[in-house]
Amino acid sequence: MLGLTKKDFNLLLIVVALALLAPFILNPFPSSSGMAQFNAGYPDLMQKFVIFGIFAIGFNILFGLTGYLSFGHAAFLGVGSYSCVWMFKLLGYNVLPGILLSVLTSGIFAYLIGIVSLRRSGIYFSILTLAFAQMSFALAYSVLSNPKFNLTNGETGLQVYADDPQIFHSASAPDLPHLFGLSMRATEKLQIGGWEFQFNAGYYLCAIIMIVMFYLSIRIFRSPFGMMLRAIKSNNTRMNYTGLNARPYTLAAFVISGMYAGLAGGLLSAMDPLAGAERMQWTASGEVVLMTILGGAGTLIGPVLGSGLIKYFENIFSKINSTVLHNWFSFLPDGLEDLMVTLIYPFVGKGWHLTLGVMFMLIVIFLPGGLVEGGQRIKRLFTRKKASDTAEDETAKSTTPAE
Amino acid sequence: MSKSNLTRRGLLKTSAIAGGGLMLPTYLRAAAHAGFTNAPQGDTVTLGFNVPQTGPYADEGSDELLAQQLAVEHLNGEGDGGCLNTFTSKALKGNGILGKKVTFVTGDTQTKSDAARASAKSMIEKDGAIMINGGSSSGVAVAVQGLCQEAGVIFMAGLTHANDTTGKDKKANGFRHFFNAYMSGAALAPVLANEMGTDRRAYHLTADYNWGWTQEESIVASTEALGWETVNTVKTPLASTDFSSYITPVLNSGADVLVLNHYGGNMVNSLSNAIQFDLLNKQVNGKDFKIVVPLYSELMAAGAGENIKGVLGSMNYNWQLENEGSKQFVKSFGEKYGKPPSNSAQTCYAQVLLYADACERAGTFNPCGVVEALEGFEFDGLGNGKTLYRAEDHQCFKDVLVVRGAQNPTSAYDTLEIVEITPVEQVTYAPNHPMFGGDEATLGECNPGA
């Protein structure tokens, strides 16, 4: 269906279900219970899940298929964000022009950086992209934000002011990013028993775009073009010897993944109309690499899972403070309670990086294929199929061209 | 070859359940609309403390958090009551806010606008926080203030010193207790004139971002008004750790004062470099060479160690202040945590109390009521002496401290000595001052949200 094999179509269905039912899936605990701390079903985090999902899907098209490890993808995210906010400032709060422009500018930006960076491969490519991203960060942070020529508004972050032109802004339209009048912040709350579920307009816009992007990425993976990219990954030299010029293909992959990143950046701004320079910092570029590897590079759904996991840690674990811990263990005798809190405290709250780091190490060491490999192993455990069978099955699947 | 558990029956079942679930809300929806975002339900009210727990300002953030926890304790009538005893407004009774027990949630801003907004959003959307307090950078403060304005909750800024927070970027739902760059300049100028004369030549090194610029602009304006000459202003990248290459030109420029518009780690490094070049023992134009650091903090002083001796700067608050409120606060804080509070701790403590008090006086948690109660509010007893929350820009006006690195510190905590307490009249400016966005900057309307 939709030009997909049955298996891919099922995968797409799973993603659609996950995305549309996220408000239920992510809120498994009643809001009054102590476990509500672990609920992730509030609009901001759900938006982040799908937006960074898009970012990682795009990154995976480059890294997963061609093997070119870009350490500068955050630059495109940042460019997308700035473009979108500029559209808000100039045209008005409708999100469509902003999102379109962010895809466009990041595409152009990726093309320019790609032409230069793709002259080298391997570690040199990574360093070049990193250098470009850091240059963009420095430009955005200070050079392009001086009082005479203020493109990015520096540390404060680009935002919309009351005296901006906003030429298409009408009095009836909401004073917040909206899609033809539907505010991105509009949230429908549904209470069933102790549970509260939040349905946010912005989230569903992002989720639909994510589904479309996911579909697009499946098509790219299964197309002859995707095949070519895989060939580049497995042996670029041999490709060259056969007389094929690989660079247009890698450049196309680079631009496509840059546009995905720009789209993600545009959506970030559309959900929250402020673009800060730190979105371009190398840590942000590193984050998407982690997401992709954590989930499983080269797999379709891996990056989405990886980005979800990292954002979950960042937003949920960082909010567990010592008071919360004391509440959890209050049933224990005093001494034991303090001991438990002391033991766990370094791993939550401000120590969330530590937990994430440990987890990343464990996954890379024991599940080199990321979360997807973990899932496959569990599946194998239950279906009791011979491991070698499925492995062959997988490779057979992934190397069959679509047509 | 592919196996799937997805059957038609399964699909039908799932969609029936999902559909049923979606239809339920029509009669189950809670009608708990109190006319503003996150109206407290039940017998508790939740405050959001959004501070940097990782990154360059993590020390300041952890100090802020300690102070905020102390404030919550005092509001709930635990501990010794702290500044509730000295606060001139007696609306707070130690039984929470409006009879509701105060609880709080914390988050990590990472000193990044994005992360700070995400963390504040989760507090508002998930935990039902009615007020956000904290932060240790102007970029973050402006970002979170904008968010709170849109979401319809109150923002009580923590440590933020750029003019923009209550200038160009001011918002009706945002309030700043901390002082700003303009006030630093205005407070420092007379002391500088006194100590160094009126014919100095100043050289500025400025952190290259918004806060640095407003700081530089303010100091240049107030020192030039004294008759000083500005030789040069050089922007340094925020990420620099070695400032030697910026110090060398200072020696050859004919300047006799170096102004470091740096903060945190930047300032510690640039000051150390300047000391390595022995600037303080130089004689230029027949005068002793001097260094000025307009914005001081205890944590920076501790980081710079010996180097800070004799260097002048300004502060919002210092624990050595001898008024009733300050003594009471230092006592409570010291007894609980075993150290005196810092600048940033005090401002957050005061902000939490001020917010709680405003709710009590307004008789509601509605942000618009709180804004009304805070605007033009005059108070004393929170440590800074007599203070006014100005209605036009939501900036606190109070005395500003000029401090100097102590020559002979007796403990790890008295590294700074107070040179002068600049009276509030001297640092007051018009709300439409050009450094604060002029006439164009407006607060806008207070937003109560949903």
* Residue B421 covered by a domain: no
Is residue B159 domain-resident?
yes
If asked whether residues B309 and B186 sit together in one domain, one would say yes
Q: What is the dihedral of CA A61, A62, A66, A70, to 10 degrees?
A: -150
Which range, A329-338, A355-364, B70-79, is most confident?
A: B70-79
Which of A44, A191, A318 faces B28 most closely, judged by CB atoms?
A: A191
A216 vs B211: which has the higher pLDDT? A216
For residue B142, list chain A residues with Cβ-Cβ distance below 8 A.
156-157
Q: Please list every residue in chain B whose beta carbon sits closer than 8 Å to the beta carbon of residue A6.
A: 2, 4
- What's residue A397's pLDDT? 45
For residues B273 and B150, membership in a common domain is answered with no
CB-based contact B146 A163, cutoff 8 Å: no
> Cβ(B394)–Cβ(B443) under 8 Å?
yes
**pLDDT of B13 strictly over 80:** no
List the single best residue of B44, B113, B145, B170 to mutate versus A (max A Cβ within 10 A).
B113
Residue to substitute from B44, B46, B122, B171, interface A, most A β-carbons within 10 A: B122
Nearest CA in chain B to A279: B114
Q: Give the nearest partner residue to B164 out of A156, A188, A315, using CB atoms.
A: A156
Residue A387 pLDDT greater than 60, yes or no? no
> Span B391-417, mean pLDDT?
90
- Residue B303, domain member (yes or no): yes
User: Which neighbouring-strand residues pair with B103?
Assistant: B46
- For residue B340, the 8-state DSSP code is P
pLDDT number for residue B1? 46
The whole domain housing B225 covers 182-315
Per-residue pLDDT tens for A141-165? 888 877 778 888 887 788 888 778 8
Q: What average pLDDT score do residues B181-201 get?
A: 92
Last residue of a domain, one of B273, B295, B315: B315
pLDDT tens digit sequence for B150-174: 889 999 999 999 999 999 889 999 9
How long is chain A?
403
Q: Can you tell me whether residue B292 is helix, strand or coil?
A: strand
Q: In chain A, which residues have their Cβ closer than 8 Å to the Cβ of B126? A: 39, 42, 45
Question: Cα separation of A311 and A290, whole Å?
Answer: 11
Confidence of residue B310 (pLDDT cuts 50, 70, 90): confident
Residue B347 lies in a domain: yes
Of residues A156 and B10, more confidence is placed in A156
What are the pLDDT digits (tens) for A9-46?
999 999 999 999 999 999 888 877 778 888 888 999 99
Q: Token pair for residue A361?
A: 């190490």
Looking at mean pLDDT, say which of A262-266, A294-298, B31-35, B308-312 comes out highest: A262-266
Where among B315, B341, B372 does a domain terminate?
B315
* Burial B180-209, CB ≥16 within 10 A → b, else e: bbbbbbbbbbebbbeebeeebbbbbbbbbb
B-facing residues of A in 314-333 (CB < 8 A) are 314-315, 318-319, 321, 323
User: Based on the domain organization, do B292 and B392 belong to the same domain?
Assistant: no
Higher pLDDT, A194 or A229: A229
Residue for token pair 């989230």: A203
Of B299, B315, B331, the residue that ends a domain is B315
Q: Band of the pLDDT at B359, cuts 50, 70, 90?
A: very high
For CA atoms B151, B154, B159, B160, give the dihedral sign.
positive
Q: What is the pLDDT of residue B373?
A: 95
Chain-wide mean pLDDT for chain B? 88
Mean pLDDT of B65-79: 94
pLDDT at A401: 43
CATH code for position B327: 3.40.50.2300
3-state secondary structure of B44: strand
Whether residues B301 and B337 share a domain: the answer is no
- Hey, which residues 88-127 in chain A have their CB within 8 Å of chain B? none
Question: Residue A74 above 90 pLDDT?
Answer: yes
Q: Which residues of A touch B138 (CB under 8 A)?
A: 155-156
**Taking CB atoms and an 8 Å cutoff, what residues of chain B touch A5?**
2
- B287-288/B131-134 β-pairing: unpaired
Indicate if B347 and B222 belong to the same structural domain: no
State residue A403's pLDDT score: 40
Instruction: Give residue B26's pLDDT.
Output: 41
In a domain, B57, yes or no: yes
Architecture of domain A6-279: Orthogonal Bundle (1.10)
Helix (H) or strand (E) holding B79: none
Interface test with B, best of A16, A148, A156 (most B CBs within 10 A): A156
Please state whether beta strands B257-261 and B290-295 pair in parallel, antiparallel, or not at all (unpaired): parallel
Question: What's the gap in Å between the CA of A241 and the closest CA on chain B?
Answer: 36
0.95 surpassed by pTM: no
pLDDT of residue A81 exceeding 90, the answer is: yes
* Residue in B closest to A317 by C-alpha: B107
* Whether residue B55 sits in one domain with residue B130: yes
Based on the domain organization, do B90 and B192 belong to the same domain? no
Q: Is B77 part of a structural domain of the chain?
A: yes
pLDDT per residue as tens digits for the range A184-214: 888 888 888 888 898 999 999 999 999 999 9
CB-closest option in B58, B143, B162 to A157:
B143
CA proximity to B434, closest of B182, B143, B175: B182
State mean pLDDT over A165-173.
Answer: 82
Residue B123 lies in a domain: yes
Query: How many domains does chain B contain in total?
Result: 2
Tell me which DSSP letter residue B115 carries: H
Same domain, B72 and B146: yes
Q: What is the chain B residue with the closest CA to A200?
A: B125
Closest-CA distance of chain B to residue A321, Å: 7
Would you state the pLDDT for residue A385? 56
The CA distance from B397 to B384, in Å, is: 10
Neighboring chain B residues of A162 at a CB cutoff of 8 Å: 442, 444
What's the rounded Cα separation, in Å, for the pair B379 and B356?
14
Q: Are residues B134 and B209 in the same domain?
A: no
Q: To the nearest whole percent, how much of chain B has pLDDT over 90? A: 58
Asked whether residue B418 is domain-assigned, the answer is: no
Q: State residue A398's pLDDT score.
A: 47
- A323-337, B205-219, B266-280, B412-426: the lowest-pLDDT one: A323-337
Between A and B, how many residue pairs show a Cβ–Cβ distance under 8 A?
A: 136
Q: Which two tokens stand for residue B353?
A: 């109390």
Give B253-256's long-range contacts (Cβ < 8 A, gap of 24+). B253/B203, B254/B201, B254/B284, B254/B285, B255/B201, B255/B202, B255/B203, B255/B231, B255/B284, B256/B200, B256/B201, B256/B284, B256/B285, B256/B287, B256/B288, B256/B289, B256/B290
Q: How far apart are CA A58 and CA B120, in angstroms?
A: 28
Q: Is A43 part of the contact surface with chain B (CB cutoff 8 Å)?
A: yes
Cβ contact, residue pair B146, A274, below 8 Å: yes
The helix/strand/coil state of B51 is strand
